[in-house]
Amino acid sequence: MSEERDLSDFLNGKTEYTIELFRFFVSECDKISCVQLRVLKSMIAMDAPKTFAYVVQFGKNFIHIVIPFSQAFNDNLCFSKIAQVPGTNQFNHHLRIYFKDDVNEEVKSFIKLAVSNPST
């Protein structure tokens, strides 16, 4: 069982820029489906109602998100890496957001797909 933590504790020490990117990303996801956040030890799970994405890293000027799918979507311009989880049919799609404009229509279409067909 994962240890849940408080969001404000998790965001403590993060840059204002990345906190704003994170809030914007959550807001954009919330327009697609009602999103609940679960703060875990090393990441934030995004549920709607099942987990469809994980915010795994806050850099100084970016947030890094992993969206799991049951297949690889190689034909895209938004994912920096796609990696199969060994021994499973789960493919983690890595998305790095530097600017609000990075949450474009392509990204939103993958979020919609993840929300409607969560692989976890």
pLDDT (tens, 9 = 90+) of the chain, 120 residues, equals 334 468 988 899 999 999 999 999 999 999 999 999 999 989 999 999 899 999 999 999 999 999 999 999 999 999 999 999 999 999 999 999 999 999 999 999 999 999 998 664
Amino acid 9: pLDDT: 85
Amino acid 1: pLDDT: 32
Side chain identity, residue 110: F
In sequence order, which residues have a C-beta less than 8 Å from that of residue 94 and are 6 or more positions away? 64, 65, 66, 79, 80, 81, 82, 83
Q: Does residue 60 contact residue 18 with C-beta atoms inside 8 Å?
A: yes
Q: Spelled out in words, what is the top-level CATH class assigned to the domain 7-116?
A: alpha beta
- As beta bridge partners, residue 92 has 68, 83
